[in-house]
Amino acid sequence: MDATHPYENLHLFSTGLTLGVALVASHVVMLAKPQPVQDFLKRFPRDQMIGQILLGIGLIWFWLLIAPAGMGKLSALSMELGEFDSVKPMLRWVVLASVVLVAISVKDFLAVRALGLLGLMVAFPLLKAAFLKDPASRLLIPIYAYGLLIPASMFFVGMPYLFRDWANWATASQGRWKLLCTAGLAYGVAIIGCALAFWKGY
């Protein structure tokens, strides 16, 4: 296994550009097609199929972080867990069993819980890409990452009904919806602007 984990090699520029484009694209769709997106958000918490898909993606991603050495590309994301390294073999089986058991057993808000898990997985590489980089504007990425870690992922995993409440609040007024979508769009534009202006070479 390489001494340097792939997350350590993430560039601030490319990571920021990818995040910014994703934010801009998603919020443009939310502004252009408000009704279909709002209907989807209201259905999302009870959508079992989407929940199973997101859960599978999140748990497989986690399994890759604890994958055994010597499996070629499957071992590329494997990382050291320090004093917890000895429990990695057990965790591999637990993760595989969880994919099946949780998908079968958890019927309430599975999609929201799975989205929270995926948020936890996405936040870590974002934080690594911005870690100890010089431009102060890099903080746009950690701020977004902690937005995934704290209210989104931790609350959605433990209190998934909050997603339903927040979706109802956001969609209760078209003016509020446009304001929130415009704010997300502006954040994405700011990230792209900073990436192009300040983050090249990082």
Tell me the pLDDT tens digit for each residue of 31-76.
999 999 999 999 999 898 898 889 889 888 988 888 887 777 778 8
Containing structural domain, residue 138? 13-198
Q: Over pLDDT 70: what percentage of the chain? A: 96
Q: Is residue 7 part of a domain?
A: no
What pLDDT band is residue 106 in, cutting at 50, 70 and 90? low
Report the C-alpha gap between 145 and 178 in whole angstroms.
Answer: 23
Q: What share of the chain is helix, strand, coil (3-state, %, to 5)?
A: 80, 0, 20
Question: What is the band of 18 on the pLDDT scale with cuts at 50, 70, 90?
Answer: very high
pLDDT tens per residue across span 141-171:
999 999 988 877 778 888 888 999 999 999 9
Handedness of CA 7, 11, 17, 20 (dihedral sign): positive
* Domain annotation covers residue 3: no
pTM for the model stands at 0.86
CA dist 151 and 163 (Å) reads 10
- Measured CA to CA in angstroms, residue 37 lies from 30, 170, 184, 189 at distances of 6, 12, 15, 21
Is the pLDDT at 107 greater than 90? The verdict is: no
Greater pLDDT, 65 or 190: 190
User: Is the pLDDT at 2 greater than 50, yes or no?
Assistant: no
8, part of any domain: no
Number of domains forming the structure of the chain: 1
